[in-house]
Amino acid sequence: MLNEQVNLLPLSKDTEDENLVRNLFLQPSTLRYWFRPPFANEDELTQFIDTHIKADDVVSMTINVTESGMAERQIKVGLVEVIDIDQIARVGEIKITMLDKQQGHGYAQIAFQQMIDHMFQIYNMHKLYLYVDVENAAAVHIYKKLGFETEGTIKDQFYAMGSYHDAYYMGLTRTNYDK
C-alpha cells in the first residue's frame, strides 16, 4: 500500500537532510512556487535548517519513501512544514515541496495529509492556511481535495522568476477537518 511507503521524519542536520534541502531549493519549480531565492552559500543553507529545527513556530518534516527491493531503504523525496505557528490562535502556514523526479507518484498528497493530521491531532491546531500561485492548478486541485477552501485572491503577492504573481489564500479549519 502506497500509504505505508510514505512517512514523515523531523528535519535534522544530517548530511542527507542538508542535501535534500539544497537540491529542493536549486530546482526551478521550488524557486517558482515557494517564492524564495536559492541559498547564496552553505552558511545560508545551514542557517535555514537550524532555524527550522529550533524555532518554536515551525514544524519541519522530510518526506521519506520506503523503496522495496533486495533490501528496503528510505529515500528522501521532499519537505513539508508548517511555519509562523501562532501558539495562541493555533494557526499556521503549511507548505510542501518535492524533488521534481519524485513528483507524479502521489507522495505529496499522502505526505500533505499526514502533516495535516499531525498538526490537528498532535498540535491541536485551529486552522492551517497556505498561499498558492493561481497558475499552479495541480496544487490547487490537491489542496481542494484535502479540504482546503479558497478564501481569497491576493494580487501581486509574490515576486518570482522575474514577475509578480497572484496567489490564492486557502484555509482548512478544525471544523472542516473534523468532518
Of 134, 144, 139, nearest to 168 (Cα)?
134
Nearest-10 Cα torsion for 131, 97, 63, 114: 20
Total Cβ atoms within 10 A of residue 130: 20
80, 61 contact by CB (below 8 A)? yes
d(C-alpha 47, C-alpha 175), whole Å:
36
Nearest-10 Cα torsion for 40, 26, 135, 2: -140
In the chain the domains, ranked by start, together with CATH numbers, are 2-129 (3.40.630.30)
Q: What local confidence, expressed as pLDDT, does residue 1 receive?
A: 44
Catalytic annotation, residues = 143
Mean pLDDT, range 163-179, rounded to an integer: 94
Q: What local confidence, expressed as pLDDT, does residue 72 receive?
A: 75
pLDDT digits (tens, 9 = 90+) for 53-78: 999 999 999 999 987 766 678 899 99
pLDDT digits (tens, 9 = 90+) for 100-111: 888 888 899 999
Of 20, 130, 30, nearest to 64 (Cα)?
20
pLDDT bracket for residue 40 (50, 70, 90): confident
Q: Which residues of 93-116 are buried (b: 16+ CB within 10 A; e: fewer)?
A: bbbbbbbeeeeeeebbbbbbbbbb
pLDDT digits (tens, 9 = 90+) for 118-138: 999 999 999 999 999 999 998
- Which percentage of the chain shows pLDDT scores above 70? 93
Largest Cα–Cα distance of the chain, in whole Å?
A: 51
